[in-house]
Amino acid sequence: MPRPERDRREQTRFILPHAYTPVVVRRADDPRRTLEGHAYDLSERGVCFELDEAIEPGARIEVMVELPEPKVLGSTPSATFVRAIGEVKWTDDDDARGPVRMAAEFDAFPGALDRARLAASLASGRFTQAA
């Protein structure tokens, strides 16, 4: 299914370091299987990401995004993990030869602190706002 032509987002999207922001996705209908990929952009309401296989629009998923924390002099780099539950909204699977880009809209956060960690990370000024 092609991407929607009109941008209906309500939250600001932030560009993530491509190929450096890992995501792990679990389908609600097959929670034991994990799919790994990379996120492209992120907001408090959703994520654009790629996996090696397409997930059809309408599928329920859980996404875990690993957001790098800034390195403080003399410290070991760490990461913030944010988990969210939502629905795949579109899949760009025109070319079956490589990774498939798709987007999901969040409607729940399984951990009490996941939404707060996501909001704090996006508000930190470390990420560039998407156009």
What phi and psi values does residue 96 have, to the nearest 5 degrees? Answer: -80, 10
DSSP state of 71: P
Task: Give the pLDDT of residue 60.
Answer: 98
**Domains of the chain with CATH codes:** 14-129 (2.40.10.220)
Residue 125 in tokens: 């000024």
Beta bridge partners of 90: 103
pLDDT of residue 51: 95
What lies within 8 Å, CB to CB, of 68 at 6+ separation is 17, 20, 21, 77, 79, 80
- Enter the tokens of residue 29: 């209908």
User: Token pair of 62, please?
Assistant: 């859980």
Query: Tens-of-pLDDT digits for all 131 residues of the chain?
Result: 454 454 555 679 999 987 789 999 999 999 999 999 999 999 999 999 999 999 999 999 999 999 877 655 555 656 789 999 999 999 997 766 779 999 999 999 998 899 999 999 999 888 889 87
Model pTM score: 0.84
Question: Which pLDDT score is estimated for 39?
Answer: 95
Q: Choose among 111, 123, 26, 131: nearest CA to 67.
A: 123
pLDDT, position 79: 76
| Residue 118 parent element (H or E) | helix 114-123
pLDDT at 1: 47
In terms of residues, how long is the chain? 131
The encoded tokens of residue 115 equal 């939404």
